[in-house]
C-alpha cells in the first residue's frame, strides 16, 4: 500500500492506517530541526512521514505487534532516523521533544463491549472515550521542549472542548487545526503549543 509516497504493509493485530492517520499526516506542523515523538505509532506511517521532514523520530506503541509492524515499514522505506520503543504512553521515554504526535484511542466503549487485547488498545477510549486522552495530556507537557507542539487526533464523540480546556489549564495554547467529517462524528486534530 502507498500513501503520499510512503510504502506500507498492514499487519495483523495492528490498527491499519485510516482517515484519522491521514488527517494527521496531511496536517503535521513540523520543522526540519525538530526531534519528534509519536505515541501509538501503529504501522509507523505517521512516523515515517514525519521522518522525511525532521532530524529524528522516536516511535512508541503499547502493542508489541505494532512495534514489529512499524519496524518492518520503516525498513521498507529505508528510514534510518527513527527509533522504535515499546512503551505505554511515556513509560519508557526520558527525553524532551519539539513535537509530540498521538492518534489517540478515542472511541467511547461501554464496559460490556471492552475487549482486553493488543488490537483494541488502538481505539478503545473507555466509557467516555477520554481514558487515554486525559492520561496523555496530563503527562505530555513534561516531555515537551519550550516552544514545542503537541498534535493529537480525537473524535467529536470524546469531547473536543474538554481537551482544549485541559490543555489551557496546563498552560498550553490549544486549537482545532483540522477536521474531517466521517459518518456520525468529526475526526479532529488538536494542536497545542507550549
Say if residue 74's pLDDT is above 80. Answer: yes
Count of the separate structural domains present in the chain: 1
Rounded average pLDDT over 146-173: 97
Average pLDDT of the chain, as a whole number: 95
Q: Indicate the pLDDT class of residue 12, thresholds 50, 70 and 90.
A: very high
Any idea which of 63-77, 103-117, 169-183 has the lowest mean pLDDT? 103-117
Q: What does the pLDDT read at residue 113?
A: 80
Say if residue 112's pLDDT is above 80. Answer: no
Is residue 139 a part of any domain in this protein? yes
Q: What does the pLDDT read at residue 123?
A: 79
Torsion angle, CA of 94/76/63/103, rounded to 10 degrees? 70
Any idea which of 61-70, 76-85, 111-120, 182-191 has the lowest mean pLDDT? 111-120
Q: What does the pLDDT read at residue 33?
A: 98
Q: What does the pLDDT read at residue 115?
A: 81
For the segment 121-136, what is each residue's pLDDT rounded down to a tens digit? 887 888 999 999 999 9
Strands (E), the chain: 2-3, 6-7, 35-39, 56-61, 82-86, 97-103, 144-155, 173-182, 185-193
Q: What percent of the chain has pLDDT over 90?
A: 87
Rounded average pLDDT over 52-63: 98
Is residue 15 a part of any domain in this protein? no
Calpha distance 189→11 (Å, rounded)? 25
Say which residue, 118 or 31, is predicted with more confidence.
31
Is residue 112 a part of any domain in this protein? yes
Q: What does the pLDDT read at residue 170?
A: 94
- Residue 38 sits in a domain of what CATH number? 3.40.50.150
Q: What does the pLDDT read at residue 20?
A: 96
Say if residue 64's pLDDT is above 80. Answer: yes
For the chain, the C-alpha Rg in angstroms (whole number) is: 15
Range of the domain at 126: 2-10+23-193
Say if residue 44's pLDDT is above 90. Answer: yes
Calpha distance 62→16 (Å, rounded)? 15
Is residue 16 a part of any domain in this protein? no
Give 193: exposed, middle or buried? Use CB within 10 Å, 0-12, 13-18, 19+.
Answer: middle
Is residue 17 a part of any domain in this protein? no
Amino acid at each position: 500500500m502507498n500513501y503520499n509516497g510512503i510504502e506500507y504493509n498492514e499487519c495483523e493485530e495492528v490498527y491499519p492506517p485510516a482517515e484519522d492517520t491521514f488527517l494527521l499526516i496531511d496536517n503535521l506542523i513540523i520543522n526540519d530541526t525538530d526531534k519528534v515523538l509519536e505515541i501509538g505509532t501503529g504501522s509507523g506511517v505517521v512516523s515515517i512521514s514525519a521522518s522525511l521532514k525532521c532530524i529524528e523520530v522516536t516511535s512508541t506503541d503499547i502493542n508489541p505487534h505494532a512495534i514489529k509492524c512499524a519496524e518492518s515499514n520503516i525498513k521498507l522505506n529505508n528510514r534510518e532516523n527513527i527509533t522504535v520503543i515499546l512503551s505505554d504512553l511515556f513509560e519508557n521515554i526520558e527525553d524532551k521533544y519539539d513535537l509530540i504526535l498521538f492518534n489517540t484511542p478515542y472511541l467511547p466503549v461501554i464496559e460490556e463491549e471492552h475487549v482486553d487485547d493488543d488490537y483494541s488498545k488502538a481505539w478503545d477510549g473507555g466509557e467516555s472515550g477520554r481514558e487515554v486522552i486525559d492520561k496523555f495530556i496530563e503527562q505530555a507537557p513534561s516531555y515537551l521542549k519550550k516552544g514545542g507542539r503537541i498534535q493529537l487526533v480525537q473524535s467529536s464523540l470524546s469531547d473536543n472542548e474538554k481537551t482544549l480546556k485541559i490543555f489551557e489549564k496546563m498552560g498550553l495554547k490549544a486549537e482545532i487545526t483540522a477536521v474531517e467529517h466521517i459518518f456520525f462524528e468529526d475526526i479532529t486534530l488538536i494542536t497545542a503549543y507550549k
